[in-house]
A and B are shown apart, each in its own frame.
Chain A
Amino acid sequence: QVQLQESGPGLVQPSETLSLTCTVSGGSISSYYWSWIRQPPGRGLEWIGYIYSSGTTNSNVSFKSRVTISIDTSKSQFSLNLSSVTAADTAVYYCARHQTPRVRDAFDIWGQGTMVTVSS
């Protein structure tokens, strides 16, 4: 059974870069799309971006050029970098798998989420 686990710092300084990694276990990272999704405290879900196992990426225009998503298939990991963070980037960050090898698919498997607070 495929499982996802986010890891990374829980506290990031304003203007710094938020860096998270999602480790895929129990299944292959290949031939799937993988997304990052966040949820500010008490608020709704926001899609950040996705990466395909080949390295193709797409991200939410709301983040402009602050988002970088990368993948290391040898380690079964994909990562998120979000630069120039502010308090508005404080949220629970989830990694998730697209249900089948189609970019338009729903997210069927989610990580447990990791809380990231932006504060000095």
Chain B
Amino acid sequence: QSALTQPASVSGSPGQPITISCTGTSSDIGGYNYVSWYQQHPGKVPKLLIYDVGNRPSGVSNRFSGSKSANTASLTISGLQAEDEADYYCSSYTTRGTLFGGGTKLTVL
């Protein structure tokens, strides 16, 4: 069961939008609308940002949004802020359980 594919790193300047991709297969991302995204600051616990492809839990900034097309999911952060610098992980439901992406390190320039 291979991990979902994410870019190792992305960067952007404050105020700019950035998008992080997460590519899987028809057996995971493409087969279900159960993609989630997590934010993890260094030494901290992962925090749920997006669930069911594009839904935000209560308390999560509306600067974070999610979408999906075929076997690829995307997390978009609008109006980058310094506090957004963190690692981001996607995950997808599969019949064999949950599959995570390898993670993307976001640097705010």
> Which A residues contact B (CB, under 8 angstroms)?
35, 43-47, 49-50, 58-62, 94, 99, 103-108, 110-113
Contacts and interface: CB of A to CB of B under 8 A. Distances in A.
A106 B91 contact: yes
Interface stretch (B9-17, B43-51, B68-76, B78-86): B43-51
A45 B104 CA distance: 12
A44 B102 contact: yes
Contacts of B102: 44
A76 to B, nearest CB: 20
A62 B1 contact: yes
Contact of A108 (B57, B91, B96, B100): B57
Contacts of B45: 94, 110-113
B52 A60 contact: no
Of the listed residues B48, B102, B103, the one surrounded by the most CB atoms of chain A closer than 10 A to its CB is: B48
B97 A60 contact: yes
A16 to B, nearest CB: 25
Nearest to B32: A104
A49 B96 CA distance: 10
Interface of B: 1, 3, 32, 34, 36, 38, 45-46, 48, 51-52, 57, 89, 91, 93, 96-103
19 contacts: A43-B103, A44-B102, A44-B103, A45-B38, A45-B89, A45-B100, A47-B97, A47-B100, A50-B98, A60-B97, A94-B45, A99-B48, A99-B51, A99-B57, A103-B93, A104-B32, A106-B52, A107-B48, A112-B45
Nearest to A108: B48
A60 B3 CA distance: 12
Contacts of B97: 47, 49-50, 58-60
Contacts of A108: 48, 51, 57
A82 B32 CA distance: 30
Given A106-B91, A110-B46, A113-B45, A45 B103 contact: yes
B60 to A, nearest CB: 11
